[in-house]
C-alpha cells in the first residue's frame, strides 16, 4: 500500500513531464519559424526596393539614349539634305583615300586615297562614326625587267616632262615597293561630339631584297586630330570639324591610273571643314606650313605658309590659296641659281565633280583648271617647290572619268596638260600634254585583260637651268596586263589585284639629250623602242 502510494505521485510527475515536454519544444520551434519568416520578409522587401531602383535607373538611361539618338538623327537629316553629290568611290581612303587617301595613294593610294595614287572621294559632311580603332592601308609592289631580263628604267614620271609633273601612266611602268599604314581611333561622346586621331606610316623602296633597312625611307606622313559636331557650335559652324596636326588635306583628288594628283595640299597646320553658309554652299579654311630647306646666308630654314579657302557649291569646287615664304630669295639652289626666287604667290583652282561620265552615261568624271603665280606656280603640289621665281606662271588642265561600256568592257580616259613660264629662270618655258586611256575587258569574275595607251608631247625650254637642254618630241606607251581579282573585276577601284604586264615604249630621239642624269638616253635606255615586262600587286582597304 505504501509502495503504491509512493509510485502514484511518481507516475503523475512522469506523465506530466511526458505531456509538457513536447509542448515546450513546440513553442520553441514556432518562435524560430516566426523569426525566420520575419527575416525572409525583410529580405524580400529589400530585394523589391533594389529592383524598383534598378527599373528607375533603366528608365532614366532609356530617356538619355532616346535624346541622344534624336539629336543624332536630326544632325544626320541635316547632313543628308545638304551633302554634295559623292565623287568616285575610294579607297584610301582611300580613303583615305583620301585621302583617299586620298593613296591619299592616295594620293597616294596614296589614300581614300586621298594617298598618292589613290582615288579620293568628297566625303559626307557628317559621316556615321564607327567608334574604336581602325586600320587602313595601301601598298603596291612588283618586279620589272626589260626583254633581255636585265634592269630597266620605269616610272610614271620617267620622261623629261616628268620633272614638272608630266605623268605618262602607271600600268606596267612601276618598279617600286610603296606602303602606307593608317591607324585611326574614333569616339562619339554622349553630347554628340566626335573625335578622330590618325597616324600614317609610309615607306618607299626600289630594292628587291627582303631586308632593306639601309635604303628605307620610312616616314610618318600624317599625325592629326579632328574634333567634330561640337554641341556649342551653331549656325554656319554646326556640324563643322576642327583639325590640327600633320596631314593630307581631306579634299585632295587624283588621277589614279596616271599616279598623278590633280591637286595635293599637305603639310602641318590646322583648319576647319564644312562651314555651311546655306543649303548648297560650304567652305573649308586651313593654314599649312611647309619647309624649303636651309638658307646659307642666315643659317635658317625657310618656312612656307599656305592659307587656303576651299569652297563647294553643288558639284563645283573653287579653291584659292595664298603663299608666303619670307627670305626665300636668299635660299641657295644646288643647281643653277634661280632668277629672283619667289617669296610669295597665289594658287587657284576651279573643278567640276560629275556623278556621271561627262553627263553622257553612268559613271563618274572630274575636271579642273588650275593657275598659279610665284610660289603658287607649282599647281599640283601646292607650296612644295621653293625654286620657283617670283614671276613664275603655270596653267594646268586635268580631266578624267570612268564608265562601263557594256557588261564586259570598261573605259577610263584621262587628259593632263600644263604650261609653265619663267618657272625657274627668266624666259624658260615648259609645255606638255598627256593623253591616257585604259580599257578593262572582263573575261570572267576573277580574270580580266587591262589595256592602256599613253601619248605625251612635250616642248621644253629650260634656258640652261640645271644644265637641261631644250628639247621637243613625243613619247608613246602601250601596255597589256592580264589581271586577277577576287571579285568586281571590271571596277577600276576595287582591290586587291595581281597583274602581269608587258609594256612597249618609244620616244623621239631628241628627248635623249634633255639631261645627263635622267632616264632617257641613259645606258641601255634610249629611243628606238623598249620593252618592260613584270608582275605587280596593288591593294588598299
Half-sphere CA count of 256, side-chain side, radius 13 A: 44
Half-sphere CA count of 81, side-chain side, radius 13 A: 9
pLDDT at 359 over 60: yes
Mean pLDDT computed over every residue of the chain:
83
Nearest Cα to Cα of residue 128 among 200, 226, 229: 229
Q: Is 408 among the domain residues?
A: yes
Q: Is 305 among the domain residues?
A: yes
pLDDT at 531 over 80: yes
Locate 263 and state its grid cell. Answer: 591637286
Q: Is 1 among the domain residues?
A: no
Q: Which residues are CB-contacts of 477 (< 8 A; sequence separation ≥ 6)?
A: 168, 169, 173, 452, 453, 454, 455, 503, 504, 505
The CATH number of the domain holding residue 486 is: 2.40.170.10
pLDDT at 532 over 60: yes
Nearest Cα to Cα of residue 113 among 125, 99, 128: 99
Q: Is 132 among the domain residues?
A: no
pLDDT at 160 over 80: yes
pLDDT at 212 over 80: yes
Quote the pLDDT of residue 306: 98
Give the rounded percent of residues in the chain with a pLDDT score beyond 90: 67
- Give the range among 282-296, 314-328, 491-505 with minimum mean pLDDT: 282-296
Cα distances from 212 to residues 145, 176, 203, 217, in angstroms, run 20, 12, 11, 10
Q: Is 75 among the domain residues?
A: no
When divided into structural domains, the chain yields a total of 1
pLDDT digits (tens, 9 = 90+) for 248-257: 999 999 999 9
pLDDT digits (tens, 9 = 90+) for 455-501: 999 999 999 999 999 999 999 999 999 999 998 988 899 999 999 99
pLDDT digits (tens, 9 = 90+) for 508-524: 999 999 999 999 999 88
> What is the mean predicted confidence (pLDDT) over 34-61?
67
Phi/psi for 26 (5° steps) reads -65, -40
Quote the pLDDT of residue 34: 65
pLDDT at 220 over 70: yes
Nearest Cα to Cα of residue 269 among 244, 290, 250: 244
pLDDT at 507 over 60: yes
| Residue 513 buriedness (CB in 10 A; 0-12 / 13-18 / 19+) | middle
More confident residue, 80 or 208: 208
When pLDDT is cut at 50, 70 and 90, the band that residue 331 belongs to is low
Locate 121 and state its grid cell. Answer: 572621294
Quote the pLDDT of residue 360: 96
Quote the pLDDT of residue 68: 53
- Vertex 325 angle, CA 323 and 329, to 5°: 125
Q: Is 294 among the domain residues?
A: yes
Locate 431 and state its grid cell. Answer: 609645255
Positive/negative CA dihedral, 251, 255, 259, 263? negative
pLDDT digits (tens, 9 = 90+) for 183-192: 999 999 999 9
pLDDT digits (tens, 9 = 90+) for 76-106: 444 433 433 333 333 333 333 333 333 333 3
Q: Is 109 among the domain residues?
A: no
Give the domain range for residue 403.
143-175+220-540
Give the bridge partners for 501, in sequence order. Answer: 534
Quote the pLDDT of residue 537: 98
More confident residue, 295 or 154: 154
Integer Cα distance of 261 and 101 in angstroms:
11
For the chain, how big is the Rg over CA atoms in Å? 36
Locate 419 and state its grid cell. Answer: 604650261
b/e for 310-322, b at 16 or more Cβ within 10 A?
A: bbbeeeebebebb
Q: Is 368 among the domain residues?
A: yes
Amino acid at each position: 500500500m505504501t509502495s503504491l502510494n509512493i509510485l502514484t505521485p511518481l507516475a503523475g510527475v512522469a506523465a506530466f513531464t511526458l505531456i509538457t515536454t513536447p509542448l515546450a519544444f513546440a513553442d520553441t520551434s514556432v518562435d524560430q519559424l516566426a523569426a525566420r519568416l520575419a527575416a525572409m520578409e525583410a529580405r524580400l522587401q529589400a530585394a523589391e526596393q533594389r529592383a524598383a531602383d534598378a527599373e528607375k535607373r533603366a528608365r532614366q538611361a532609356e530617356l538619355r539614349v532616346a535624346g541622344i539618338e534624336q539629336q543624332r538623327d536630326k544632325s544626320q537629316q541635316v547632313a543628308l539634305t545638304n551633302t554634295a553629290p559623292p565623287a568616285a568611290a575610294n579607297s584610301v581612303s582611300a580613303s583615305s583615300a583620301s585621302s583617299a587617301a586620298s593613296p591619299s595613294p592616295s594620293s597616294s593610294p596614296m589614300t581614300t586615297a586621298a594617298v598618292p595614287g589613290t582615288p579620293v572621294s568628297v566625303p559626307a559632311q557628317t559621316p556615321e562614326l564607327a567608334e574604336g580603332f581602325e586600320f587602313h592601308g595601301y601598298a603596291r609592289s612588283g618586279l620589272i625587267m626589260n626583254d633581255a631580263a636585265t634592269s630597266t628604267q620605269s616610272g610614271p614620271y620617267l620622261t623629261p616632262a616628268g620633272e614638272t609633273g608630266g605623268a605618262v601612266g602607271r600600268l606596267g611602268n612601276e618598279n617600286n615597293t610603296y606602303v602606307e599604314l593608317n591607324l585611326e581611333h574614333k569616339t562619339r561622346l554622349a553630347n554628340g561630339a566626335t573625335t578622330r586621331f590618325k597616324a600614317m606610316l609610309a615607306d618607299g623602296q626600289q630594292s628587291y631584297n627582303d631586308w632593306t633597312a639601309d635604303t628605307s625611307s620610312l616616314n610618318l606622313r600624317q599625325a592629326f586630330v579632328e574634333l567634330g559636331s561640337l554641341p556649342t557650335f551653331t549656325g554656319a559652324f554646326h556640324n563643322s570639324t576642327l583639325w590640327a596636326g600633320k596631314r593630307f588635306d581631306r579634299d585632295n583628288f587624283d588621277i589614279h591610273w596616271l599616279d598623278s594628283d590633280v591637286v595635293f595640299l599637305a603639310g602641318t597646320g590646322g583648319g576647319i571643314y564644312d562651314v555651311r553658309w546655306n543649303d548648297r554652299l560650304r567652305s573649308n579654311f586651313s593654314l599649312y606650313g611647309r619647309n624649303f630647306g636651309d638658307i646659307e646666308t642666315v643659317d635658317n630654314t625657310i618656312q612656307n605658309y599656305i592659307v587656303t579657302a576651299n569652297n563647294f557649291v553643288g558639284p563645283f569646287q573653287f579653291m584659292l590659296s595664298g603663299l608666303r615664304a619670307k627670305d626665300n630669295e636668299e635660299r641657295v639652289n644646288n643647281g643653277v641659281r634661280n632668277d629672283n626666287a619667289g617669296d610669295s604667290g597665289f594658287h587657284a583652282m576651279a573643278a567640276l565633280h560629275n556623278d556621271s561620265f561627262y553627263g553622257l552615261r553612268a559613271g563618274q568624271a572630274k575636271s579642273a583648271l588650275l593657275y598659279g603665280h610665284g610660289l603658287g606656280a607649282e599647281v599640283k603640289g601646292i607650296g612644295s617647290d621653293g625654286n620657283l621665281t617670283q614671276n613664275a606662271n603655270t596653267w594646268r588642265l586635268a580631266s578624267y572619268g570612268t564608265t562601263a561600256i557594256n557588261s564586259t568592257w570598261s573605259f577610263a580616259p584621262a587628259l593632263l596638260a600644263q604650261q609653265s613660264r619663267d618657272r625657274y629662270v627668266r624666259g624658260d618655258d615648259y609645255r606638255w600634254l598627256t593623253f591616257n586611256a585604259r580599257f578593262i575587258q572582263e573575261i570572267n569574275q576573277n580574270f580580266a585583260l587591262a589595256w592602256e595607251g599613253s601619248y605625251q608631247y612635250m616642248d621644253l625650254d629650260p634656258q640652261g637651268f640645271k644644265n637641261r637642254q631644250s628639247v621637243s618630241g613625243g613619247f608613246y606607251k602601250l601596255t597589256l596586263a592580264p589581271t586577277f581579282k577576287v571579285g568586281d573585276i571590271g571596277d577600276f577601284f576595287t582591290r586587291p589585284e595581281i597583274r602581269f604586264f608587258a609594256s612597249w615604249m618609244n620616244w623621239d630621239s631628241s628627248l635623249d639629250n634633255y639631261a645627263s642624269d635622267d632616264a632617257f638616253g641613259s645606258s641601255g635606255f634610249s629611243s628606238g623602242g623598249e620593252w618592260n615586262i613584270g608582275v605587280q600587286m596593288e591593294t588598299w582597304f
